[in-house]
């Protein structure tokens, strides 16, 4: 127990600071009652929680994180669990009679032999000039000049502790734009400010953070084993998520520093590549940089240089993935999925190029090409006397921006003389988006069957089902796989299926990979499934063989 007692003795010589002690007998009580805090602080507020009343309004969320962390530390779940005396601190501004002051609030606790907390010590100490400078900086870093501050300081840290290993972590908010749309930009800004404030509490002195751009943050952290990095990311998640009950997730890219003499920039870029590699994947949120990710950069240039030629040379090929009736165990439809078959590189999967095509607008041309392939296929079946199965095609949101797409679709239906019921439309609905709504209405008025793609991923919400014009919901692969593992998750899936059926919508489950999943879906009343358990996407030739078997 020496530690806390020694400290108190030492600190009592500094009457400027505030020292509070909690023990089982006396509860909270001041140790240095001469501290000037007591001149204006109400006696009944003297406690760790009561200290919150002195913290300036805008720093209170940080203080709350601090309190939350202490709670987990006390329960022994925090990262300091197992040690004899824990130390947790926050840097906050506090209102004083003479104005606002910058303080470090620190909490230490001591456990008795039974591992119960026997004493808690709270120290409130004024920051020194250097600390105040850093805190002010943390509040204002939004411009380009700070990454250089980061680089210099990072170097200092590494030089000071050369025997440690280091990693760069970058993270950002998944679909931050959508967050801004849902909650408003003010809330978006608040979240980012909250991140900055929280990072101050969560990062210790050898962990350096910087805000790189809007919602991208970078952290230098020492580590011994890779597990330390994962633990730190868990800690970040615990503290950064759930601000004011908002629903958002963070994606992390990690790059290990191989040689401290290298420029940091290279490692930052690699962490960024790792982070970007996760975008759009609902199942992971942390990626470690691997050398092969660098190839991605060349691919990007490669793609832009080659896309037009590829379209002309018919390198884009329509694959079909069957949709099955679970109860009948037979094919009931197909989804058209594009593949880029490059003469040298082989098959390039759509996730490698579609996101880029969506940015540069080429997706419009490519989509329309695939729609035509689907229409041609249906015509061919009809000509061959085969009862066609409906094919659903993906319509990128980019297409919905102007009304031309409807003329293109109607034109194809006309050209190939096929009933509209055979060409179904898949659209990824996120939230209220006037352009998409407009496009959806147009499609509906023109008599197409609409499938809401990726339902249950990211930010699709129950709200969207209220006045929806869609006919079919496609349950996202991630939703199914995330939820099916637990009893509670299963109930959610079950009720989602019941609810959509109840409001008259059909349901297709995507990403069905096992017999158990299929059986579970059938039991819940969802009879249509698409996924590797049945078939992977295949060439038209293979699909035709299956169909006529």
Residues that bind ligand C2E (CB under 6 A): 321, 337-338, 349-351, 354, 363, 367, 370, 394, 396, 453-454, 477, 510-513, 530-532, 537
Residue 15 interacting entry, from Ca ion, ligand C2E, none, C-beta within 5 to 8 Å by type:
none
- Residue 534: closest CA among 508, 495, 501, 500: 508
Q: H helices within 340-420, ranges in order?
A: 350-360, 363-383, 404-416
Q: Which residue is nearest to ligand C2E (CB)?
A: 531
Least Å from the CB of residue 484 to Ca ion = 17
- Residue 474: closest CA among 495, 491, 496, 489: 496
CA-based torsion, 154, 158, 161, 164: positive or negative: positive
Is the CB of residue 491 less than 8 Å from the CB of residue 513? no
Residue 531 interacting entry, from Ca ion, ligand C2E, none, C-beta within 5 to 8 Å by type:
ligand C2E
Residue 537 interacting entry, from Ca ion, ligand C2E, none, C-beta within 5 to 8 Å by type:
ligand C2E
Burial class (CB in 10 A: 0-12, 13-18, 19+), 169: buried
Q: Which is nearer to Ca ion, 367 or 454 (CB)?
A: 454
Residue 172 interacting entry, from Ca ion, ligand C2E, none, C-beta within 5 to 8 Å by type:
none
Least Å from the CB of residue 181 to Ca ion = 21
Q: Which is nearer to ligand C2E, 367 or 527 (CB)?
A: 367
Residue 411 interacting entry, from Ca ion, ligand C2E, none, C-beta within 5 to 8 Å by type:
none
Q: Which is nearer to ligand C2E, 124 or 512 (CB)?
A: 512
Q: Which is nearer to Ca ion, 226 or 351 (CB)?
A: 351
Q: Which is nearer to ligand C2E, 59 or 476 (CB)?
A: 476
Is the CB of residue 215 less than 8 Å from the CB of residue 176? yes
Q: How many helices and strands in the chain, by DSSP H and E? A: 17, 19
Q: Which is nearer to ligand C2E, 233 or 480 (CB)?
A: 480
Residue 176 φ then ψ, to 5°: -60, -30
Residue 59 interacting entry, from Ca ion, ligand C2E, none, C-beta within 5 to 8 Å by type:
none
Least Å from the CB of residue 532 to ligand C2E = 3
Q: Which is nearer to ligand C2E, 133 or 532 (CB)?
A: 532
Residue 25 φ then ψ, to 5°: -85, -50
Least Å from the CB of residue 452 to ligand C2E = 11
Residue 363 interacting entry, from ligand C2E, Ca ion, none, C-beta within 5 to 8 Å by type:
ligand C2E
Least Å from the CB of residue 275 to ligand C2E = 20
Question: Is 316 strand, coil or helix?
Answer: strand
Least Å from the CB of residue 186 to ligand C2E = 32
CA distance 180 to 175: 9
Residue 273 interacting entry, from ligand C2E, Ca ion, none, C-beta within 5 to 8 Å by type:
none
Q: Which is nearer to Ca ion, 172 or 510 (CB)?
A: 510
**Local structure of residue 417 (DSSP, 8 states):** T
Least Å from the CB of residue 416 to ligand C2E = 18
What residues pair up with 506 in beta bridges, in sequence order? 472
What tokens appear for 391 in the block?
A: 């094919």
CA-based torsion, 355, 255, 171, 463: positive or negative: positive
CB atoms inside a 10 Å sphere around CB 116:
9
Q: Interface residues with Ca ion (CB under 5 A)?
A: 394, 426, 453-454, 510
What tokens appear for 296 in the block?
A: 């991605």
């Amino acid at each position: 127990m020496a530690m806390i007692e020694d400290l108190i003795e030492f600190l009592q010589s500094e009457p400027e600071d505030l020292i509070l002690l909690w023990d089982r007998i006396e509860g909270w009580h001041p140790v240095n009652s001469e501290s000037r805090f007591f001149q204006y602080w109400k006696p009944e507020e003297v406690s760790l929680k009561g200290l919150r009343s002195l913290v300036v309004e805008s720093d209170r969320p940080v203080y709350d994180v601090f309190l939350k962390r202490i709670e987990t530390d006390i329960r022994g779940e925090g990262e300091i669990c197992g040690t004899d005396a824990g130390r947790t601190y926050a840097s906050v501004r506090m209102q004083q009679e003479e104005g606002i002051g910058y303080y470090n609030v620190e909490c230490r606790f001591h456990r008795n032999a039974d591992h119960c907390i026997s004493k808690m010590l709270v120290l409130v100490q004024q920051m020194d000039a250097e600390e105040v400078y850093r805190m002010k900086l943390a509040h204002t870093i939004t411009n380009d000049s700070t990454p250089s501050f980061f680089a210099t300081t990072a170097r200092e840290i590494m030089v000071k502790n050369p025997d440690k290993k280091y990693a760069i972590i970058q993270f950002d908010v998944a679909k931050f734009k959508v967050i801004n749309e849902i909650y408003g930009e003010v809330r978006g800004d608040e979240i980012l400010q909250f991140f900055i404030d929280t990072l101050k509490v969560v990062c210790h002195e050898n962990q350096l953070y910087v805000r790189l751009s809007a919602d991208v943050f970078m952290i230098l952290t020492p580590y011994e084993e890779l597990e330390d990095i994962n633990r730190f990311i868990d800690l970040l998640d615990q503290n950064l998520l759930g601000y004011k009950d908002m629903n958002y997730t963070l994606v992390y890219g990690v790059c290990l520093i191989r040689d401290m003499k290298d420029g940091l920039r290279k490692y930052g870029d690699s962490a960024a590549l790792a982070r970007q590699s996760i975008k759009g994947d609902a199942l992971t949120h942390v990626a470690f940089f691997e050398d092969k990710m660098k190839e991605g950069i060349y691919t990007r240039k490669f793609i832009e240089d080659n896309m037009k030629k590829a379209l002309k040379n018919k390198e884009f090929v329509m694959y079909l993935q069957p949709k099955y009736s679970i109860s009948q165990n037979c094919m009931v439809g197909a989804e058209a999925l594009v593949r880029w078959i490059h003469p040298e590189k082989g098959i390039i999967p759509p996730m490698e190029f579609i996101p880029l095509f969506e940015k540069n607008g080429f997706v419009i041309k490519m989509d329309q090409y695939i729609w035509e392939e689907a229409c041609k296929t249906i015509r061919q079946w009809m000509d061959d006397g085969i009862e066609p199965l409906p094919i659903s095609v993906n319509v990128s949101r980019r297409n919905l921006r102007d009304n031309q797409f409807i003329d293109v679709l109607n034109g194809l239906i006309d050209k190939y003389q096929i009933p509209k019921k055979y060409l179904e439309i898949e659209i990824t609905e996120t939230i209220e988006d006037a352009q998409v709504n407009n496009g959806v209405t147009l499609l509906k008025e023109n008599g197409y069957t609409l499938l809401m793609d990726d339902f249950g991923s990211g930010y699709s919400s129950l709200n969207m089902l209220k006045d929806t014009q869609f006919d079919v919901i496609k349950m996202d692969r991630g939703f199914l796989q995330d939820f099916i593992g637990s009893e509670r998750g299963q109930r959610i899936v079950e009720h989602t299926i019941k609810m959509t059926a109840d409001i008259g919508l059909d349901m297709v489950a995507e990403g069905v990979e096992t017999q158990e999943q299929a059986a579970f879906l059938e039991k819940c009343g969802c009879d249509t499934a698409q996924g590797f358990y049945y078939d992977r996407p295949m060439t038209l030739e293979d699909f035709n063989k299956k169909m006529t078997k």
